[in-house]
Structure 1
Amino acid sequence: MKTTEQTTEEKATRQCWECLKRRLVCDLTRPGCRKCQKVGKECPGYDQQKPLQWIAPGKVSSRRRNKQSQPKQLSPAVQAASRPSKGAEGCEKKKTTCAGVCSHEERALEVGSRFAALVIRDIQKLEGALHGGDPAKVIPYKEENGIPHYGGMLSETSDIVQAVYYFNTQIYPTMVCVTEMAPNPYIMYFPLAALHVLPPSVHHILVCFAMNHRINSVPNGSDRQVVSENWSKVYHHRGEAIRQMSNAIALDKTRCCDATITSVLMFLCVELQQSSSINWRTHSDGLLKLLNMRGGLMPVFRTKAQLAPCIMLFVLIVIMSNTTSPAMNQFVLAGTVDELIQNVTEMYSIIFPNVLCPPELFVVLLRICELRSRASTILFDVDDDTCFIEANDILERIEAFEPKDWAQPNAFYDEWLLIGTMWKASLGIYAICSFQSIYILPSSPSLSATRALYSDSLFLAVKSAMLSSRINKFVLWPLVVLGFSAGYQGDGLKNWVEQQLSDVSRLQGSTSPLKARAVLKRYWAREERSWEECFDRPYAFVV
């Protein structure tokens, strides 16, 4: 029989300072952990503040740096990437500097190797700063979302770090300029420390996003061999992202967690950026099912602030893709159009900076899509003129909108005026042509004249918008609508739209405008002029 007194060991709630320093998983044993005992070290304990370390006389606590290496420690481009941008004032200057650095693949590899060494330092900072300075609270968060405890450097770390570097130096500075007109809280500098608490699927998706942007933004006449060599990396990381997401969805614990929902949404965005997948609707269906497992789209939006930007982007993608999808194949987000309008109105404050559409016109867009879907099911009910009345009411709402009254009276008034004009003309053409294609409205000379006026107005507005660095990233959908209207006009406008779509593709680093160009060219070659004939399958021209 044992004579020693049985005691219950009380576990600590945070790692000891020695294990944290050595990046080990502490066993949390009190009064000192056993891992420190095994290596012959005195456990410093689990106090909130790091204990003082006494240094024997004649010894130093840090190594002296090599004086010769100090001037070459970080290049100006890396220094720019390792701290947040100071705003839009230096946007053009920073963009020019970074473009010169990233124009050579060898230089990018060198910078990525140096930058990778900073990952561990940023991880340590995150461990100490996240959740009120208690690193032990990071572990439950990672376990809840199925995020592994990264130990050491992965074989693909260089690609991942270079992707973050590319975003911070090539993409983020150009987006800062956009936020001058409409501040966007979700356009931000990407902190390297965040990689530590992101799932592997997001890491691979980031690489796909950065490489796709790099490949598609290469100017004409550049060395295409370098571009083609990068496609193998894109396919590799895409496959790894799919594998990681499949593993997460297969487990009950991580099937619909925050990390999985974020991964699926980011993967959907990258697929649309590359336009390689014709089954993007499959990703959308899956994402909606995951959200329904969490209680529904809007309940998650209201209760999970960290998922708000994901849900907003998902809603925006679905709404804009419905405009270029057949009337009988619309993606349904709500039971009724009034419910959808209410939901969109609730989140429109964060939708607006991503689309710059006047709120009243965005509601009109929702009503057009809903009326198209409803009318497609009653095409043979000739006695019902409800759809005809609603269609004319929508046209009256569009015509009543005055861009001059809506334009913001500030330093960007002219650009706000262009945006309002673009959206009014685009929706006018979309409403008339899409309603005529499913026989809600007749093909009358007066409607043809109205469409022609909208087309001329839209051409002038898009032409001016392409010259503005603040709004030329928002012209893709109006440009697609103008391309459809060009089918009624000569080859001059068609050639101009085709060239502008190529420029927008390089500007946005996406093949989505090129996909739109291919769809329009196929439509131009046909004799029939119909919205349903042009967009005969679900297309999503969204960046």
Structure 2
Amino acid sequence: MPNTGRPSRDCHLCRKRRVKCDLARPACQRCIKYGTECPGYRDQQELVFRNADPTAVRKRKKRTSQSPGVSGSPSSAASGTAYPTPVLSPNGDFMFTSSTDVVLAKGVNCNAAAPLTRPVFQHWTSHSVPIVLNVYSNLDFIQDIYSGYNNDGPLIWAAHLFSRTYVTNLRYPTAISRDAHEETQRELGTYLVKTLNSVNKALGTPEGAFRDDVLATIWLLSNYELLIGSLNRTETLSPWHLHARGLYSILKIRGVAPLHTVKGRMMFWPAYSMVQIQSLINNTECPPESQEWFDAIAQSLSPGEGLGLHVSLFMIKICSVQARIFSFFRRRDFSGASREYNDLLAQMKAAIHEIEDWMESNPVGNHMLEIYVISLYQSAIVKGFNAVKLLINFLTHYPLCSIPLQQLTADRDYCIEIAQTSAQGIIETVPRILGPLAAKGKDKSPKTVFDALRIIWPLICVYVMDICRPEQRLTASEYLFYIGRELGIRQGLNTYSTKLTLPPEARVPFGEHEEL
């Protein structure tokens, strides 16, 4: 019969020792600290059902029939297999307030479920994978990898890390106490170490870099860093940048062979996008293998890949120009900058015209992925032409510059105009990407998190680049703050810094004073 009491969910050893278990999967920390192997947990059926003699059954039925407020008819509930958004309880468990939630959490259809008389608490590790699957419900490769995946491996630890961070960010400080928050941080630290150790162990084997779950784990770790807001840390050993470099290293080892398969393509695009964004942020060249990879993709282009391919090729050119510009800044090379200025600006204009001609012949649709790719393209325009503007400022301080001041002024106005037009396009895209969240502030489903993660960088680009209009930067900052506060993506609150090492001449044109 159903067990209507609250049987212990602790592992076998913790129940035997009569100590509180932390319910972690696959092994509890109590057992690990105790120095022994965790023997595991009781079956779910054992927790839900128990044996009872006929006398006990009759007594229980009598008590139930006499209890006020308990109806024998089931209440209706919505059907479907959607995953719930759990509430984090003070003790760190996920709390569900109805039996429908519990059924949906397991991915089972439920047309009629009786309401529970009290909340049901389940340890958060039981639902970390469903939350990840909900957040990335539009990514087939994530769904495929987790399908049938075992309970031990880097992708499971990454799911625990990502899901707990997401729920904690979303609820703290209103849902959990400070002590619980500190305990959560310690717990997350443990899972981060387990994830990294598991990845390192896998990469230590010959086949490690070719494992799809390893590539997906590192990609998920880079998204986790956005949840905690580490993108603004641009030092060499910043975690986000390390993960982006790790993605590039794996793509380099895997080579072009996976790009001839549908699954390999699905894995490639999200990983390479992170790599290109890092190049854009750091003012460095894109990976030298990029052209070889895209040549392989172009040989058998799938429907919908054309836009992503051309935007990526465009970003390669923008990153190349940026890298050359900042090399002049580092060396304070006025003569070199003056000599190559016309060629650099011509490359930027040619790249713009080439992709615009392609888009005119291949109209972009309203699919969410296409909208995101366009916003990434627009962010590259903002970032790239901001670099050209800095170069123009730099050259106005060089008396021997071969470019007339009048031309430099006209080129500077051109850069500002095209960057501000692109920035406006990014801002106008946000309501379409975030949908009800941006319009009404009500949709906080986990799926919305992925859409918000994809628009974070374009919004940061508008916010921090002073080539954009003040009202555009203000609007971008408001969107970022809203995403950080309402969706728990801390990168929206800890925005990327523009404190670049620039020569003073690059900041403002000759004759103008830098605003404090």
Q: Is 1:321 aligned to residue 275 of structure 2? A: no
Distance 1:308 1:499, change over 3 A: same
Identity in percent: 10
Distance 1:244 1:431, change over 3 A: closer
- Provide Cα deviations, 1:439-464, integer angstroms capped at 9, x if missing partner: 79956322332233235434543343
The answer to whether the 8 A contact 2:286-2:316 is kept is no
Distance 1:351 1:231, change over 3 A: farther
Corresponding letter in the other structure for 1:468:
R
Pick the aligned partner of 1:496 from 472, 475, 478.
475
Distance 1:452 1:433, change over 3 A: closer
How far did 1:434 drift?
Answer: 1.8
The answer to whether the 8 A contact 1:407-1:416 is kept is no
Match of 2:195 in 1: 241
Q: TM-score, normalised by structure 2?
A: 0.57
How far did 1:162 drift?
Answer: 1.3
Secondary structure (helix, strand or coil) at the match of 1:108 reads strand
How far did 1:333 drift?
Answer: 4.4
Match of 2:3 in 1: none
- Provide Cα deviations, 1:5-52, integer angstroms capped at 9, x if missing partner: xxxxxxxxxxxxxxxxxxxxxxxxxxxxxxxxxxxxxxxxxxxxxxxx
How far did 1:299 drift?
Answer: 2.1
- Provide Cα deviations, 1:46-71, integer angstroms capped at 9, x if missing partner: xxxxxxxxxxxxxxxxxxxx999999
How far did 1:227 drift?
Answer: 5.3
Q: Is 1:453 aligned to residue 417 of structure 2? A: yes
Matches within 5 A, 1:416-455: 426-437=379-390, 444-455=408-419
The answer to whether the 8 A contact 2:283-2:326 is kept is no
How far did 1:210 drift?
Answer: 1.2
Distance 1:116 1:333, change over 3 A: farther
Corresponding letter in the other structure for 1:210:
S
* RMSD after superposition: 5.2
The answer to whether the 8 A contact 1:395-1:431 is kept is no
Distance 1:419 1:486, change over 3 A: same
Matches within 5 A, 1:287-302: 287-290=247-250, 296-302=254-260
Alignment partners' CA distance in 2, 1:234 and 1:319: 28
The answer to whether the 8 A contact 2:382-2:420 is kept is no
Secondary structure (helix, strand or coil) at the match of 2:283 reads coil
Distance 1:402 1:420, change over 3 A: farther
Match of 1:505 in 2: 484
Matches within 5 A, 1:18-417: 80=80, 83=81, 98-99=84-85, 102=87, 108-109=94-95, 158-168=123-133, 171=135, 185-186=140-141, 188=143, 194-196=148-150, 199-218=152-171, 225=178, 229-251=183-205, 257-276=211-230, 278-290=238-250, 296-302=254-260, 306-327=263-284, 330=285, 332-334=287-289, 338-339=291-292, 341-343=294-296, 345=298, 359-374=309-324, 380=333, 382=336, 385=339, 388-398=342-352, 401=356, 405=360, 408=363, 412=366
Alignment partners' CA distance in 2, 1:489 and 1:528: 21
Secondary structure (helix, strand or coil) at the match of 1:194 reads coil
Alignment partners' CA distance in 2, 1:341 and 1:274: 32
Pick the aligned partner of 1:467 from 431, 438, 458.
431
Alignment partners' CA distance in 1, 2:238 and 2:458: 22
Secondary structure (helix, strand or coil) at the match of 1:467 reads helix
Corresponding letter in the other structure for 2:275:
V
Distance 1:71 1:501, change over 3 A: farther
How far did 1:238 drift?
Answer: 0.8
Alignment partners' CA distance in 2, 1:447 and 1:306: 44
Corresponding letter in the other structure for 1:214:
V
Secondary structure (helix, strand or coil) at the match of 2:432 reads coil
How far did 1:318 drift?
Answer: 0.6
Alignment partners' CA distance in 2, 1:465 and 1:255: 36
Alignment partners' CA distance in 2, 1:462 and 1:423: 9
Identify which range, 361-370 or 160-169, moves more after superposition. Answer: 160-169
How far did 1:357 drift?
Answer: 5.9
Alignment partners' CA distance in 2, 1:307 and 1:507: 34
How far did 1:344 drift?
Answer: 6.1
Alignment partners' CA distance in 2, 1:488 and 1:323: 17
Alignment partners' CA distance in 2, 1:199 and 1:340: 32
The answer to whether the 8 A contact 1:323-1:369 is kept is yes
Alignment partners' CA distance in 1, 2:484 and 2:244: 23
Identify which range, 476-485 or 218-227, moves more after superposition. Answer: 218-227
Distance 1:75 1:374, change over 3 A: farther
Match of 1:45 in 2: none
How far did 1:237 drift?
Answer: 1.0
How far did 1:209 drift?
Answer: 1.2
Alignment partners' CA distance in 2, 1:291 and 1:385: 36
Corresponding letter in the other structure for 1:211:
R
The answer to whether the 8 A contact 2:247-2:275 is kept is no
Alignment partners' CA distance in 2, 1:282 and 1:438: 29
Alignment partners' CA distance in 1, 2:241 and 2:414: 34
Corresponding letter in the other structure for 2:130:
Y
Secondary structure (helix, strand or coil) at the match of 1:519 reads coil
Structure 1, unmatched stretches of 5+, are 1-65, 86-93, 122-156, 177-183, 532-543
Identify which range, 259-268 or 374-383, moves more after superposition. Answer: 374-383
